[in-house]
Amino acid sequence: MVQNPRSNLFPRMNKELKKALTAAWIELPAYAVLVGLYLWLAVRCLSSWLAQLFHEHKAIYAVVAVGLIVAQGLLLELMERGLLALGRGRDGK
């Protein structure tokens, strides 16, 4: 009986790919919920203050807006790293 030479060509890679895809399917909805929550809180808490700042002090608004963009990027990066660490589990692999 002749085996397909491709069937066992990359067994470890297939196992790692399956594990990575499983982790992604778990992390993606969790990440989406966290991003949605962050957006809802930021808009709800800051929208009136930012609108007032925009109309009264445009230069300060510009600095605050850039600071918020940087802070958002850092926060999302930390959330992503935390989710990836949870996805890897305690063994660190």
pLDDT tens-place string over residues 40-84: 888 888 889 999 999 999 999 999 999 988 988 898 888 778 877
- Residue 17 placed within a domain: no
**Residues of the domain holding 73:** 50-85
DSSP helix/strand/coil, 3: coil
Judge whether 15 lies within some domain.
Answer: no
| 15-48: pLDDT as tens digits | 778 877 887 787 788 778 877 887 888 888 888 9
Q: Note the pTM of the prediction, 2 decimals.
A: 0.58
- Neighbouring CB atoms inside 10 A of 34's CB total 16
Q: Give the CA-trace dihedral at 52, 55, 61, 65, to 10 degrees.
A: 70
Residue 69 forms part of a structural domain: yes
Average pLDDT of the residues of the chain: 79
The number of distinct structural domains making up the chain is: 1
Question: Is position 70 within any domain?
Answer: yes
CA distance linking residue 19 with residue 14, whole number of Å:
9
Please enumerate in sequence order all residues whose Cβ is within 8 A of that of 14, keeping only pairs 6 or more positions apart, or say none: none
Percent of the chain with pLDDT over 90: 22
Three-state DSSP at 79 gives helix
